[in-house]
Amino acid sequence: MRHERSFAALGHRVLAGCDEVGRGALAGPVSVGLVAVHLESVRALKGVRDSKLLTPADRQALVPKIKKWCPAWGVGHASAAEIDLLGLMGALRLAGTRAWTQVSETLIPDVVLLDGNHNWLSPELQGSLFDEPDEVDDAACTAPVHTRIKADMTCLSVAAASVLAKVERDEMMVQYAAEHPAYGWEINKGYATEAHRAAIDTLGPSPLHRLSWRLGTARSPQDGPAAGPLGG
């Protein structure tokens, strides 16, 4: 919590750590975790680290501990169809807004620490006075957002957010695998394994694939997006 506590010297009281999972998958949602802490009273939480460094069993065991440790948390998702519609950055912002809304029902953070080097969480500035207001942005993050590369490995609040998001998204992909068993989502969680791409080559994409992405092994960037989802 060393880096998080440095924000207390700037007058901040409630910080939210934020991280995403599923950015590079071919199928399923992008998911954003947000974990809020009181900077004056927060204590360490043993065992929490970047979700990619933990086993599935360890992540599962940490979820109730994290939820008990922090005063507010949220996980938001944006579907594959929303990724195709909005683009990846827009979908991340949408998922982050959904997580922010959940946290804000309990308390409103006055600063956000976001993993990475790009602030995709804050709403985009309105381009013109004549533009229609964005309905999603009305509920979007209102706090200043500070980015930090590898924050999920060095900041406890961000690591905790990554664990919550990873566990929720993995559970969703296992459920989706029961509906679409040929793609192996219970194992690959929608990521681009060789077997996953080969299944897309054979069967075509499902309704849960990101159709604007290069999906199968036989496709190249010049091929453009996939032809359409299997089953509608």
CA distance 94 to 12: 25
223 is in an annotated binding site: no
Length of the chain: 232
Surface-to-core class of residue 109, CB atoms within 10 Å of its CB (0-12 exposed, 13-18 middle, 19+ buried): buried
**Residue owning tokens 């590369």:** 149
- Dmax of the chain from CA atoms? 57
CA distance 99 to 1: 22
CA distance 183 to 213: 16
132 is in an annotated binding site: no
Decide: 53 and 152 in contact? Cβ < 8 Å. no
115 is in an annotated binding site: yes
Q: Where do the H-state alpha helices sit in the chain? A: 2-5, 56-69, 80-104, 151-154, 156-179, 185-188, 194-203
The binding site for a divalent metal cation comprises 19-20, 115
The binding site comprises 19-20, 115
